[in-house]
């Protein structure tokens, strides 16, 4: 989603990165390109103007002239500015002393309120809470039915009462108290911010249930109007945070930047896919990194921690570094990785992924082909791919519905990777000095290396024909992937 | 020292990069037929297109493969609505609610005595706020600047008029009639496509009502089998418009549902099938493939697809252009329906869609009731952008 904004910024900033001197004209050119990138990404006109003005102020000030590397300095300024706009800290959800904690959902028609309500309920459930959903959208045909279906999918009860939305919401609150649910999520009908009657109605709903959190659901594809909508809803309801829906599209999400800037309320959650668990808390600082092409390593680690067993992961790492990582292990790891979400969303979080891979629209279905090839091998072949001869190749290709060259490529690439892993292991191993233990790495240095990776790319990694050797710029630290080219 | 997170990260990275490497290579090869990187075993290559996922066999003429429930229109539609052709509500009256930004900005420009740098900034900002987009705005203004250099335009008032005339002219060439062809294999099929939440289902309800009033024998096909309760929603609209609907089971194959609906329409002599599809983001390759299949299968036996209408929400920003391009590539879109224009958004992205992709806007949605749908009129639309409320 933010990917294309990030690649835009990357290419703009790459022009100045590492430059020794920057003239005023250089800076102006960069600023005008940044403005264009922001506008193309649907950042509000006023917000874009303010952002550019603030960057200009810092960039042409004393700071820049004194800096050793003015280009790098600009990158830093832009990064700070984006982080500031996106909204500082993650919204921390606290729970009411006297349950239930009441959440009200509001937004335009089609912004994704009902789906988000269900996804939010699932999120609360994963936090150990017991939510109750209330269907107070009595306007759109079958909206309550939709909520009920989603409720069944996530095993969360749904309350509704045909008639009046205010009464439904009030009775929903009473119902939550009666059956002892500690979170109440009230879905409402979509409404235009200029529809006075309906805005008054949602104000009455809000007055009746006194929500602890009022979330405004905004479609990530929204254009300039996002700001008007957010201002109008905020004036009526006092919004606590924004839920950004459909963030898995290719919209550049400028609306997200603008809304925070204009109403000063953070983006609390983001929906990143059609599946009901594709919903996460929004971490502004991490997102800024993602926009600037630095990846979102923290989220990735969190997700990885949920699916990987620590001991198992360490054991696998040892295997990798000693060159004993087999195709069978790979297949197993791939299953774990798949649990973390779609391949494209994981890719978005990896720092410095080469653009050609990002742009290749790689879906999970396509990963299946790789899987199919490996699954068509015998266990013995998976452990030692070198025994795969001509006839075995034909068999594997037939078994997986692919061709012999496909099989060849996979085998060849795997051995490249194995060799590289061994070299990396050797590097890291020198410091820890012990075999059979996971190589010790310094997290600080690692994080630093990760950051540097943002500047480089991984295009050499794992691609045959470019058997790069790791240089030793940072001995002992995590290898700098730039050297793999 | 706890290494676990680092190791995890490394694992993920390796697995993903390796997995993708294979794919990227395959893709590169598929894209470039010449052996760029000659693999070691040059056999006869049955080029494996990674993007062509093995697909389920398309339904040929099928009978009761899937439970397809036919529901006759219920008479108890909540809002029966008048049974006359909906009196086209002049967009101007409806937009008037949202008059605001434009009026102020353009009126302000007109009132100035001289054309200055501020004039250009104001015009640019106003167009950008309507989601017209930076590149279209820049080229529109560049054209005006050259006319000023030639002294064709000298004052702010004629500058705004010239901009208005230029934008109207760029939209005026396109044909906007909905295609209904009585000479093709019947029934006519109108397919509604678009991203999630733009108002496809609601639009179908309105079109059904208008076309029925127009004398067509309409049948609805509930092809959104993905979203919870989408079929129920369409069924309510079928009741309101008093037309029959063919539904499938939730999670079923949308192609099959629409195919069955077309067969059913042909059997009972309906001449127009309005087919709903699930909302999908245009960057989801597999879902776009599914849509291609829906289109193919729809006219496999009876019926001809004569319209593919892309529904676009007026609040959509620059992403609308990507939506139009991708959907057009997948399904050969014949027109755009611009919904929710009764709000504060102006839907300026349709200007780029028309002028850059050549897809005409055919209909405009202006509210939640069954008659809130009008034909798109470029004069009125552009006029609205410039003079709303004044």
CATH class of A101-292: alpha beta
Q: What is the 3-state secondary structure (H, E, C) of chain B?
A: CCCHHHHHHHHHHHHHHHHHHHHHHHHHHHHCCCCCCCCCCCCCCCCCCCCCCCCCCCCCCCCCCCCCEEECCCCCCCCCCCCCCCCCCCHHHHHHHHCCHHHHHHHHHHHCCCCCHHHHHHHHHHHHHCCCCHHHHHHHHHHHHHHHHCCCCCCHHHHHHHHHHHHHHHHHCCCCCCCCCCCCCCCEEEEEECCCCCCHHHHHHHHHHHHHHCCCCEEEECCCCCCCCHHHHHHHHHHHHCCCEEECCCCCCHHHHHHHHHHHHHHCCCCEEEECCCCCCCCCHHHHHHHHHHHHHHCCCCCEEEEEEEEEECCECCHHHHHHHHHHHHHCCCEEEEECCCCCCCCCHHHHHHHHHCCCEEEEECCCCCCCEEECCHHHHHHHHHHCCC
Close Cβ partners of B308 (under 8 Å, ≥ 6 residues apart): B190, B191, B193, B295, B331, B332, B333, B334, B335
What letter would DSSP give residue A89?
A: S
What average pLDDT score do residues A304-313 get?
Answer: 69
User: Are A158 and A118 in contact, with CB atoms under 8 Å apart?
Assistant: no
The answer to whether B340 contacts A441, with C-beta atoms less than 8 Å apart, is: no
* A438 pLDDT higher than 50: no
pLDDT in tens, A318-341: 777 777 778 888 888 777 777 776
Are B344 and A192 within 8 A, CB to CB? yes
Give yes or no for A305 touching B (CB within 8 A). yes
CATH fold match for the domains A3-86 and A299-439: no
* Mean pLDDT within A191-216: 95
Residue in A335, A350, A246 with CA at minimum distance from that of residue A295: A350
Could you give the CA distance from residue B274 to residue B290 in angstroms, rounded to a whole number? 18
- DSSP symbol at A222: B
Cβ contact (<8 Å) for A249 and B23? Answer: no
Q: Which residues, in sequence order, are CB contacts of A76 under 8 Å at separation 6+?
A: none
Beta-carbon separation of B6 and A446 below 8 A: yes
User: Nearest 5°: phi and psi at B78?
Assistant: -55, -40
- Chain A residues in contact with B37 by the CB 8 A cut-off are 464-465
The full set of domain ranges for chain A reads 3-86, 101-292, 299-439
Q: Who among A225, A301, A478 is closest to B345 (CB)?
A: A225
**Continuous segment of H or E residues that includes residue A187:** strand A183-188
Q: Which two tokens stand for residue A337?
A: 């990785």
On the question of a cis peptide bond just before residue B187, with omega within 30 degrees of 0, the verdict is: yes
More confident residue, B104 or B321: B321
Query: pLDDT: is A48 or B13 the higher one?
Result: A48
Measured between CA atoms, the residue of chain A closest to residue B133 is A40
Report which of residues A253 and B65 the model is more confident about: A253
Each residue's pLDDT tens digit, A117-154? 999 999 999 999 999 999 999 999 999 999 999 999 99
| Per-residue pLDDT band at B390 (split at 50, 70, 90) | very low
Cβ within 8 Å of A, B 274-293: 281-286
Average pLDDT across chain B, whole number: 79
Average pLDDT over residues A351-357: 55
Percent above pLDDT 70 for chain B:
72
- B74 lies within 8 A of chain A by CB: no
What is the model's pLDDT at position A282?
A: 87
A185 three-class SS:
strand
Cα separation, B118 vs B15, whole angstroms: 55
Distance to chain A for B368, nearest Cα, Å: 9
Rounded-to-integer distance, Cα B74 and Cα B241, Å? 10
**Least CB–CB distance from B24: residue in A139, A357, A410:** A357
Separation of CA B134 from chain center: 21
Checking if the pLDDT of B161 tops 60, the result is yes
A468 vs B257, more confident: B257
Using only C-alpha atoms, chain A has a radius of gyration, in whole angstroms, of 26
Q: How far is B227 from chain A (nearest CA, A)?
A: 8
Tokens linked to B349: 């992205």
Strand partners of residue A159: A134
- For chain B, positions 231-260, list CB contacts with chain A under 8 A: 232-233, 235-237, 250
Using the beta-carbon criterion (under 8 Å), do B23 and A367 form an inter-chain contact?
Answer: yes
pLDDT confidence of residue A207? 96
User: What pLDDT sits at residue B7?
Assistant: 55
C-alpha dihedral (B9, B14, B17, B22), degrees to nearest 10? -160
> Which residues, 6+ apart, have CB-to-CB distance to B267 below 8 Å?
none
At the topology level of CATH, where does A299-439 sit? 434 Repressor (Amino-terminal Domain) (1.10.260)
What's the rounded Cα separation, in Å, for the pair B222 and B152? 55
A305/B195 touch (CB, cutoff 8 Å), yes or no: no
pLDDT tens digits for A205-262?
999 999 999 999 999 999 999 999 999 999 999 999 999 999 888 777 788 778 888 8
Checking if the pLDDT of A384 tops 50, the result is yes
d(CA A430, CA A435): 10
- Which residues does A123 contact at the CB level (< 8 Å), separation at least 6? A269, A279, A281
Complex ipTM more than 0.85, yes or no: no
- Antiparallel, parallel or unpaired: β B245-247 and B69-71: antiparallel
Task: Please state the pTM of the whole predicted model.
Answer: 0.71
Higher model confidence: residue A464 or residue B354? B354
pLDDT at A344: 67
User: Element (H or E) spanning A107, and its range?
Assistant: strand A101-107
Domains along chain B?
A: 91-172 (1.20.120.140), 179-378 (3.40.50.300)
Torsion of the alpha carbons at A347, A350, A354 and A358, rounded to the nearest 10: 20
pLDDT of the residue at A448: 41
Give the least confident one: A44-48, A400-404, A410-414, B216-220.
A410-414
Question: In this predicted structure, what is the pLDDT of residue B260?
Answer: 95
Distance CA A350, CA A371 (A): 21
Pick from A43, A133, A141, A248 the residue to mutate for testing the B interface (most B CBs within 10 Å). A141
A183: enclosing H helix or E strand: strand A183-188
The two beta strands, A183-188 and B69-71, are unpaired
pLDDT digits (tens, 9 = 90+) for B111-125: 788 888 889 998 999
Stronger pLDDT, A357 or B33, i.e. the higher one: A357
Q: Is the pLDDT of residue A65 over 70?
A: no
Closest CA to A253 of A278, A270, A276, A228: A270
Q: Are A382 and A331 spatial neighbours (Cβ–Cβ below 8 Å)?
A: yes
**Neighbouring C-alpha atoms within 13 Å toward the C-beta of A292:** 26
> Which stretch of B44-58, B92-106, B178-192 has the lowest confidence by average pLDDT?
B44-58
- For the cut 60, the answer to whether the pLDDT of residue A182 exceeds it is yes
Question: Which bin fits A51, alpha (ψ -120 to 50), beta or left (φ > 0)?
Answer: alpha
Compute the Cα dihedral for B122, B127, B128, B130 and give only its sign: positive
Tell me, what's the pLDDT at B139? 94
Q: What is the DSSP string of A296-319?
A: -HHHHHHHHHHHS-HHHHHHHHHH
What tokens does A28 get? 């102006």
Mean pLDDT, rounded, of chain A: 77
Residue A120 tokens read as 């939010």
For residue A280, what are the β-bridge partners? A270
Domain spanning A3-86, CATH class:
mainly alpha
Low-confidence winner among A422-436, B227-241, B251-265 (lowest mean pLDDT): A422-436
Q: Is residue B173 scored above 50 in pLDDT? A: yes
């Amino acid at each position: 989603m933010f990917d294309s904004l990030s690649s835009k910024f990357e290419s703009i900033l790459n022009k100045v990165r590492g430059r020794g001197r920057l003239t005023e004209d250089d800076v102006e050119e960069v600023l005008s390109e940044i403005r264009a990138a922001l506008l193309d990404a649907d950042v509000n006109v006023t917000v874009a103007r303010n952002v550019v003005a603030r960057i200009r102020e810092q960039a042409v000030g004393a700071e820049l002239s004194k800096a050793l590397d003015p280009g790098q300095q600009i990158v830093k300024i832009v990064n700070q500015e984006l982080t500031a706009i996106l909204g500082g800290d993650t919204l921390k959800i606290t729970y009411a002393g006297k349950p239930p904690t009441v959440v009200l959902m509001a937004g335009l028609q089609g912004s994704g309120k009902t789906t988000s309500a269900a996804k939010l309920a699932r999120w609360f459930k994963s936090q150990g809470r017991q939510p109750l959903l209330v269907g107070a959208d009595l306007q759109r045909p079958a909206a309550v039915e939709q909520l009920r279906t989603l409720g069944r999918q996530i095993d969360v009860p749904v309350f509704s009462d045909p008639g009046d939305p205010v009464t439904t919401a009030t009775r929903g609150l009473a119902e939550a108290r009666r059956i002892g649910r500690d979170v109440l999520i009230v879905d409402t009908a979509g409404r235009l911010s200029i529809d006075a009657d309906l805005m008054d109605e949602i104000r009455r709903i809000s007055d009746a249930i006194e929500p602890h959190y009022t979330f405004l659901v905004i479609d990530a594809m929204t254009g300039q109007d996002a700001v008007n909508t957010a201002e109008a809803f905020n004036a009526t309801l006092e919004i606590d945070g924004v839920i950004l829906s459909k963030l898995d599209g290719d919209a550049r999400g400028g609306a997200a930047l603008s809304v925070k800037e204009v109403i000063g309320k953070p983006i609390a959650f983001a929906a990143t896919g059609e599946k009901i668990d594709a919903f996460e808390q929004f971490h502004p600082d991490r997102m800024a990194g993602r926009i600037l092409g630095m990846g979102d390593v923290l989220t990735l680690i969190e997700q990885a921690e949920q699916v990987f067993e620590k001991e198992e992961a360490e054991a696998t790492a040892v295997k990798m570094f000693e060159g004993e990582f087999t195709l069978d292990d790979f297949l197993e790891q791939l299953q774990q990785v798949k649990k973390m979400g779609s391949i494209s969303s994981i890719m978005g979080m990896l720092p410095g992924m080469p653009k050609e891979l990002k742009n290749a629209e790689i879906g999970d279905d396509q990963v299946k082909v790789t899987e199919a090839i490996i699954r068509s091998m015998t266990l013995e072949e998976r452990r030692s791919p070198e025994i795969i001869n001509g006839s075995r190749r034909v068999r594997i290709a037939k078994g997986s519905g692919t061709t012999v060259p496909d099989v060849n490529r996979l085998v060849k690439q795997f051995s490249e990777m194995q060799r590289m892993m061994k070299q990396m292991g050797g590097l890291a191993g020198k410091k820890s000095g012990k075999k059979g233990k996971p190589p010790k790495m310094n997290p600080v240095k690692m994080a630093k290396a990760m950051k540097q990776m943002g500047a480089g790319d991984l295009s050499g990694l794992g691609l045959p024909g470019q058997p790069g050797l790791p240089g030793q710029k940072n001995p002992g630290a995590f290898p700098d992937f730039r050297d793999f080219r | 020292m706890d290494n676990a997170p680092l190791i995890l990260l490394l694992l993920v990275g390796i697995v993903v990069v390796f997995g993708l490497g294979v794919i990227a290579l395959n893709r590169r090869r598929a894209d470039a037929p010449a052996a760029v990187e000659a693999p070691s075993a040059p056999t006869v290559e049955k080029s494996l297109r990674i993007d062509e996922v093995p697909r389920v066999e398309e339904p040929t003429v099928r009978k009761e493969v899937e439970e397809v429930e036919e529901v006759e229109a219920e008479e108890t539609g909540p809002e029966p609505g008048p049974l006359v052709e909906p009196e086209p509500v002049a967009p101007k009256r409806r937009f008037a609610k949202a008059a605001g930004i434009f009026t102020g900005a353009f009126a302000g420009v007109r009132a100035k005595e001289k054309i200055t740098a501020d004039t250009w900034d104001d015009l640019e900002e106003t167009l950008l706020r309507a989601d017209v987009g930076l590149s279209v705005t820049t080229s529109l203004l560049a054209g005006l600047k050259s006319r000023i250099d030639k002294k064709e335009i000298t004052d702010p008032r004629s500058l705004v008029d010239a901009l208005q005339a230029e934008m109207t002219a760029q939209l005026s060439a396109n044909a906007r009639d909905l295609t209904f062809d009585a000479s093709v294999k019947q029934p006519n099929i109108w397919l509604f496509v678009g991203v999630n939440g733009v108002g496809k289902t609601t639009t179908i309800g309105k079109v059904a009502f208008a076309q029925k009033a127009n004398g067509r024998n309409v049948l609805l096909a509930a092809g959104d089998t993905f979203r919870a309760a989408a079929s129920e929603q369409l069924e309510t609209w079928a009741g309101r418009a008093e037309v029959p609907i063919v539904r499938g089971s939730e999670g079923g194959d949308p192609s099959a549902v629409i195919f069955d609906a077309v067969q059913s329409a042909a059997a009972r002599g309906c001449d127009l099938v309005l087919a709903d599809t699930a909302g999908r983001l245009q960057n989801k390759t597999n879902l776009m493939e599914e849509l291609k299949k829906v289109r193919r299968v729809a006219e496999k036996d009876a019926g001809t697809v004569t319209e593919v209408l892309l529904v676009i929400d007026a609040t959509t920003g620059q992403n609308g252009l990507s939506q139009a391009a991708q959907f057009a590539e997948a399904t050969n879109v014949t027109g755009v329906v611009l919904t929710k224009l009764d709000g504060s958004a102006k839907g300026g992205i349709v200007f780029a869609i028309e002028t850059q992709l050549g897809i005409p806007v055919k209909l405009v949605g202006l509210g939640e009731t069954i008659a809130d749908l009008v034909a798109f009129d470029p004069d009125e639309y552009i006029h609205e952008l410039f003079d709303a409320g004044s």
